Amino acid sequence: MMTSPAPMPQLDVAEQLLTLLGSTTTEPRTDPQLEALTLAVAADLPVLLWGEPGIGKTAALTQLAETLDLPLTTVIASVHEPSDFSGLPVIGDDPAVQGVPMAPPDWAVRLVRAGRGLLFLDELSTAPPAVQAALLRLVLERRVGALRLPPGVRIVAAANPRSSAADGWELSAPLANRFVHLRWTHEHEVVVRGFGGTWPRAVLPALDPDALPEAVAFARRAVCTLLTVRPELVHRLPDGETRRGGPWPSPRSWEMTLRLIAFATAAGSSREVLSMLVRGTVGDGPGLELMASAERMDLPDPELLLADPAAVELPHRGDLRQAVLDGVVAAVRKRPTQQRWDAAWQVLALALETGAPDLVVVPANTLASLRQDGWTVPTIVDRLAGTVQLAQRADRLAAATAKEAAGVGR
């Protein structure tokens, strides 16, 4: 008589079920915030992820460590004492001769032994001011007591906004200025697909070796060009404790910005990713100014356009195209001649043929006002005149419609 096998213990069955639930795969997917994070990690800059509780910051860091094959060490900043980061004094045989060394904690020793790793400082916004002060040297100099973390260790922190943090504190200005601040949000499609078993994969940016010198030159030029005309942005401590706990411009954060621009340029990252990184380092205002200034650095020289209008290649983006046309007209105003005036009309004609007609209206009116006595009007102006008049008529109609709508609203 055969006996039936003994039933599997329920906890073993539960373990199997948990294993199945935890079995997920990853896939390459365009994710700007994940790309910004990996770029900052590759650039060896401390990153601080800001997000509401349960948004997936810890899960993202765990997956990043697995993808980069880095051992993950998590330290909950809020449950540690300042001495856990500055080191505990250990009295030796002869303190008067040998001094009193500062012993590092076990997690720092493990990182040094491994030679590489991802140090995750969680719950940073619930760490009291004394702990934040002790973290300054760790984040900037990578020192814990008398121990120096190896170059292969990267630092990423996470924090909740004070409004949603348990007994939260504002980040001190010196500590905040040492981080690249990234807002961490969830994307509905990514979350749903992840629950289905497939999450996006974090991938280190592919840096083009041939593009490195040019990337460094571009980054230096971008930062120096802006700070030359906006010297007040070199160091501007924000008003208010809350704003000081975020990104703000200082020589330290501009140096971080320069590094991030070089990495993003060498990796061919999108404008969205670069904007996240720049604004997360020096703040929204200075960051947006830098982005606008950098884009205009690559615009064609108005003098070259006037010298050879037939070889003009105008930008596709409307705001950049408008800037080029305005620059051409400004160059003619600065040094007006019949030849330069005619060449400017050729540039405007090309803009009319290859882009939105409304972008030509203001430059054409301004250019027409620069005509001097004795200058002949090129035939190409006839084509532009109809467009300008039509656009002006449309503007007047739109203004009249808006005024009528406002009257009806009252």
Residues 290 and 340 placed together within one structural domain of the fold = no
Q: What is the 3-state secondary structure (H, E, C) of the chain?
A: CCCCCCCCCHHHHHHHHHHHHHCCEEECCCCHHHHHHHHHHHCCCCEEEECCCCCCHHHHHHHHHHHCCCCEEEEEHHHCCCHHHHCEECCCCCHHHHCCCEECCHHHHHHHHHCEEEEEEECHHHCCHHHHHHHHHHHHHCEECCEECCCEEEEEEEECCHHHCCCCCCCCHHHHCCCEEEECCCCHHHHHHHHCCEEECCCCCCCCHHHHHHHHHHHHHHHHHHHHHCHHHCCCCCCCHHHHCCCCCCHHHHHHHHHHHHHHHHHCCCHHHHHHHHHHHHCHHHHHHHHHHHHHHCCCCHHHHHHCHHHCCCCCCHHHHHHHHHHHHHHHHHCCCHHHHHHHHHHHHHHHHHCCCHHHHHHHHHHHHCCCCCCCCCCHHHHHHHHHHHHHHHHHHHHHHHHHHHHHHC
Q: What is the pLDDT of residue 168?
A: 67
250-300 pLDDT per residue, tens: 999 999 999 999 999 999 999 999 999 999 999 999 999 999 888 877 778
Please report whether residue 53 resides in a domain. Answer: yes
Whether 260 is covered by a domain: the verdict is yes
Q: What is the CATH number of the domain that holds 166?
A: 3.40.50.300
One domain, residues 308 and 258: no
- Within-domain flag for 3: no
Residues 362 and 253 both lie in one domain: no
Clarify whether residues 325 and 239 are in a common domain.
Answer: no
pLDDT digits (tens, 9 = 90+) for 334-386: 999 999 999 999 998 888 888 887 888 888 888 888 989 888 888 777 777 66
Give a yes or no: residue 4 inside a domain. no
In a domain, 1, yes or no: no
Answer whether residue 93 is part of any domain: no
Same structural domain, 45 and 110: yes
pTM of the model: 0.74
Residues 289 and 310 reside in one and the same domain: no
Count how many domains the chain has: 3
Same domain (yes/no): 217, 281: yes
Domain assignment present for 7: no
Domain end, chosen from 200, 226, 241, is at 200
Q: Give the domain range for residue 144.
A: 26-88+103-200
Domain boundary residue, one of 200, 221, 245: 200
Domain boundary among 279, 297, 315: 297
Intervals of the chain under pLDDT 50: 390-392, 394-395
pLDDT score, position 389: 58
In a domain, 6, yes or no: no
**In this structure, are 109 and 252 located in the same domain?**
no
* Domain shared by 109 and 145, yes or no: yes
